[in-house]
Structure 1
Amino acid sequence: MIAFVGSVFSPYYAWAQRRSKSVDPENHCAINLAIYSPGNKRWTMTERSAASISRNQTDFVIGPSSLRWHGDHLRVDIYERAVPFGQRVAGHFKLFPRQLFNFSTSLDDQGKHRWGPLAPSARIEVELDSPKLKWQGNAYFDSNEGDEPITIQFKDWDWSRAELSGGRTAVIYDVRQKNGVEKLLGLVFHPDGRIENFDPPPRQALPKTGWRIQRQMRNPSQASLEILETLEDTPFYARSVLSSELLGERVTSFHETLDVPRLSSWAVQFMLPWRMPRVK
């Protein structure tokens, strides 16, 4: 689940920014929820205007859905419609951070794009009425923010997150900027609040997606790297689950690849409204 203020993938936001340099990001908000359970797959990302949102220090309301801090946990209530067939997506989940972090680092040379995990390790309780799903498991919660569209600074990036022994979480950000400069982050977040830098292993090429996006992953060798499942295969973005090696451990990595030129192409911008409808 991703909550957007100024939806970074929104074609409506991109079109508004082309017309004016002063665009209110709160006029382009959305909740993206992807459900991958066999037989219950749903995907929703309806964009809403500033007239349908409100937010303060603890609450963020987007149309009928909301995110709210309740003491020791974040509660998310979802009431959306999936695309393309309009099925209901309704229910709630609760995220209980094991440790909150106040950490942020830049992803680009200019410091205009920043990322940081709020709860790199958390417990989640999911209870949905439509589709009917109920489960508990491990979760991860982070935040990205920027002062300009990502299309200005970036060419592409690969991101991955893996759970390590001892309750630790490792994140790798492998960023290629348009100016040719690469930025590589390797960080381990400890359950006691410590943050440790590490040197990620060499870059390995993964098989291209159905849309011919080149995925890459930091791993000691090509032989020990395996795609377990591709969850999202779109013209500009891929989300995958990998079996890989990291810091001497065999891990399951959650992996994402973003191809920025593909995102900004006229063909993709034309297709996006079918996937991301907008209402007031």
Structure 2
Amino acid sequence: MSDCGQHGITLIAFVGSVFSPYYAWARGRGRANPDNHCALNVAIYSKGQGRWAMTERGQRHCARSARQFTIGPSQLNWDGDCLTIDIDEVCVPVPRRVRGRIKLWPQQLFGYSTPLDGAGRHRWGPLAPASRIEVDLSAPDLKWQGHAYLDSNEGDEPVDQGFHTWDWSRARMRDGSTVVFYDMQAPGTEDRVLSLRFTPKGTVEPIATPPVQRLPKTAWRIDRRMRSTQAVCVQEQLEDTPFYQRALLQFDYAGEPLLAFHETLSVPRLVSPVVQAMLPWRMPRRA
């Protein structure tokens, strides 16, 4: 988010894209190579200049090492202090260019990782929950600075084998801490919730889990919820798809009003044949 609160951006670099219908179809034919299903998802939230791009690239278009990840014409580079993302993508179905450079400076690096499921096949951990970001784009023409969050997810099996539904949120507190709620639900089982505070000193503190606050269903009728001691308000709906939603929420934690990035994933919706048939229209592939 920009310091002025008027701009936002989300970037996701995939190796073995969990949302890819091509990867799912390849797994159906046998063991699939995740390096043959890479993508850089770019979502820009600026009034009048919004963009969304996610083109999957085959292995011959990609390369990765400990410090660099090339995905077609885009790439990510880590120099030890700064993560630089050079973007050169095209939106679909309306072709609009997304081009420019993003720089992210972690204020504190974390080596924290935790299993998300009982078998430990899916793991998550923030790398830099509090960071500074600089956005310099030529298409669309956007230049701003602000605060950011960087994390990592990895799995040893397809996402539909480990999850049913999750609600995830992160919010920045006045003291520079980042509060994260990872709320996972499945029919017939108890909720699994991670409630954590990542401090500027580099510590990870478990926090009390607030009660569930129900949110209005999205336009695609996705159920969603948030953890908060007070009522929650949807400030802005950023993404609304048949299986996934992203929004900005106003909520309260420890008596402090906060603004959270919030996401909901419905795995049954994602893997439904109808949605899988729709996805190529938004996620083209370059083999």
SS of corresponding position for 1:12:
helix
Q: Does 1:107 align with 2:116?
A: yes
2:72 to 49, 63, 77: 63
Q: Is 2:241 aligned against 1:215? A: no
CA deviation after TM superposition for structure 1 residue 71, in Å? 3.3
1:87 and 2:96 matched: yes
- For 1:1-280, list aligned pairs within 5 A: 1-20=11-30, 22-177=31-186, 180-221=189-230, 224-280=231-287
Judged with a 3 Å threshold, the aligned counterparts in structure 2 of structure 1 residues 183 and 173 are, in CA distance, closer, same or farther, namely same
CA–CA distance in structure 1, aligned partners of residues 51 and 256 of structure 2: 33
The question of whether the paired residues in 2 share the 8 Å contact of 1:120 and 1:169 is answered with yes
Distance 2:236 2:275 in 1: 24
What are the superposed Cα offsets for residues 226-278 of structure 1, whole Å, 9 maximum, x if unpaired? 00001000000000000001122110011000001000000000000000000
Displacement, 1:197?
0.2
Q: Structure 2: how far apart are the matches of 1:268 and 1:184?
A: 27
Alignment-mate amino acid for residue 10 of structure 1: S
Q: Structure 1 242/61 Cα, relative in aligned 2: closer, same or farther at 3 Å?
A: same
Contact 1:48 1:279 in 2 (8 A): yes
How far apart are 1:23 and its partner, in Å?
1.1
Distance 2:69 2:195 in 1: 31
Aligned residues: 277
Paired residue secondary structure (1:17): helix
CA distance in 2, matches of 1:60, 1:128: 20
On the 8 A contact 1:77/1:91 being kept in 2, the answer is yes
**How far is the alpha carbon of 1:178 from its aligned partner?**
5.7
- Check the 8 A contact 1:161/1:171 in 2, yes or no: yes
Alpha-carbon separation, structure 2, partners of 1:106 and 1:199: 19
1:192, distance to aligned residue in structure 2 (A): 1.1
Q: With structure 1 as the length reference, what TM-score do the two structures score?
A: 0.97
CA contact (8 A) 1:170 1:186 kept: yes
Q: CA RMSD in A?
A: 0.9
5+ long unaligned stretches in structure 2:
1-10
Name stretches of at least 5 consecutive residues in structure 1 with no aligned partner.
Answer: none
Q: Following the alignment from structure 1 to structure 2, what is the Cα–Cα distance between the partners of residues 37 and 98? A: 25
Q: Give the deviation of 1:18 after TM superposition.
A: 1.2
Contact 1:242 1:253 in 2 (8 A): yes
Q: Secondary structure at the match of 1:165?
A: coil
Indicate if the aligned counterparts of 1:153 and 1:177 stay in contact, CA closer than 8 A: no
Q: Secondary structure at the match of 1:167?
A: coil
